[in-house]
Structure 1
Amino acid sequence: MPEPAVEISTGEAGTAPPTDYRLIVPFDWFRIPLEPGEWKRSIRALVDNALRGQDDAAALKRQLTKELAARAEDAYRNGGVELYISTTSVGPIPVSASLLVTVVPPDEDFGLSVTGAQRAQEIDEILLPFAGPAIRRRTRTVPADDDSSGNRLPVTTVDYGVKIPMTTASLLLTFSTSLDPFAEALVELFEAIAKSLSWT
């Protein structure tokens, strides 16, 4: 699996309390900003790049664009500020992985709890070297037979909730992959990205 290679900053350095954050993500993870008016252009570029050279893929392009747009809109409504999609492949197999960065409003809980018989979870407290204490939750969800998304593969999700210093707001990093055979390796990559989080 690729090591994080690109430093992403969402703005200029600020004064305390921090006004921004930085993350180091793999160079082949595509960033989709979730501000209104921004994500449509980014999704179009991502889909065009992913299906470049496939002249008969018009229907697939429309479907993929629709799915990503729905995901972006839903994420934005829930406080999402950035969505990263892996464009990595191992041979002919695309590496299905993503990261959603969400700002949790002041005094609201991370929501890092799990219910449901089809999920397995691990929750613990860790220290992010540059960002401070965090709550980490790892979840493996086995889709139901009638899952409306059509997904039939187990999905591994790792959330990192961290308080923004000198505020009552929080930042939530949500990583996910449906590539079950590579889940352990991807979880290690997710951890490396989360540990690169720093405040500016």
Structure 2
Amino acid sequence: MAEPTSPPTGYRLVLPSDWVQIPLRTGDTERTVRDVVAAAFARVPADVPRDKPTPLRLELERRLLSAVADARRAKALELYLPMRLAGEVNLGASIIVSETQVPSRSSVNAATASASDSAEIAGQLMSRDDGTDLDLSSGEVDGALAVRRERIVPAAADRGLELASRRVDYLVSVPGDPGRWFLAAFSTIGAGNPQDDLADALVEWFDALMATFRWSWA
């Protein structure tokens, strides 16, 4: 397939209907997050004591609001959250989409950047290992070079994170714009353990979701 001469103007993901997209640059994002969490926990069966899901609800809300704050600092584009999940009370997951510039060491400036720079950057990313990675690999997403990183992020009570989380990042080079990368960052606490069966299933789901990723041009 020929290399695009102009960068894409957007992207598409085939999301299930029980996930909601929250734009981070407009509207009252914090209120939307609280509404999403309230809607999710409104599905608690009547025979479940009201105080039982409260810690999970508060933890989920803290994590999602923290994710919103982090995403805004990183100038992220969208946040995706589960809104309805039949048979489950708390999914405890999110997806943050953003863009980033990752310059290669060989490029003097943007005018000299080439497709080879994307491969060099991918190699640099693959060489970063802080000891927490469960998996670090490279491949392609819709024909573009991509790096996938999976890791466990420990709990940090000082930052309001009472539970550890499982993180999976897809960093995808933007066609026609070397140095510019698309980032989809997935996070889940599973059912309270980032390496439990629910977390495993959600990571598999996210990998399947990224297989539906397509660039779009206006």
TM-score normalised by L of structure 2: 0.67
Asked if 1:170 corresponds to 2:181, the answer is yes
Counterpart CA distance in 1 for 2:208 and 2:43 is 34
Deviation at 1:149, TM superposition (A): 2.1
Q: Which residue of 2 aligns with 1:77?
A: 73
Question: What letter is aligned with 2:214?
Answer: S
Counterpart CA distance in 2 for 1:46 and 1:97 is 12
1:18 aligns to what SS in structure 2? coil
Q: Which residue of 2 aligns with 1:121?
A: 134
Q: Is the 8 A contact 1:79 1:104 kept in 2?
A: no
More helix by share: 2
Deviation at 1:30, TM superposition (A): 1.8
Q: Which residue of 1 aligns with 2:202?
A: 186
Q: Is the 8 A contact 1:34 1:80 kept in 2?
A: yes
Q: Which residue of 2 aligns with 1:151?
A: 162
Please give the per-residue CA displacement for 1:137-187, whole angstroms capped at 9, x wherever unaligned: 11123436x5542423x4211110011111131100111111132122111
1:72 aligns to what SS in structure 2? helix
Asked if 1:198 corresponds to 2:188, the answer is no
Question: What letter is aligned with 1:26?
Answer: P
Deviation at 1:107, TM superposition (A): 2.9
Q: Is the 8 A contact 1:161 1:171 kept in 2?
A: yes
Counterpart CA distance in 2 for 1:150 and 1:66 is 8
Question: What letter is aligned with 1:188?
Answer: E
2:32 aligns to what SS in structure 1? helix
More strand by share: 1
Question: What letter is aligned with 2:175?
Answer: P
Please give the per-residue CA displacement for 1:59-114, whole angstroms capped at 9, x wherever unaligned: 99999766644431320220211111123546344222111101113638686744
- Of residues 11, 36, 41, the one that matches 1:21 is 11
- Identity among equivalent positions (%) equals 30
Q: Which residue of 2 aligns with 1:5?
A: none
2:77 aligns to what SS in structure 1? strand
Q: Which residue of 2 aligns with 1:134?
A: 146
Asked if 1:161 corresponds to 2:174, the answer is no
Deviation at 1:136, TM superposition (A): 0.5
Q: Which residue of 1 aligns with 2:94?
A: 98
Please give the per-residue CA displacement for 1:21-58, whole angstroms capped at 9, x wherever unaligned: 1111221112111004352453354244235489x99x
| Structure 1: gaps (5+ residues) | 1-14
- Of residues 21, 25, 31, the one that matches 1:35 is 25
TM-score normalised by L of structure 1: 0.72
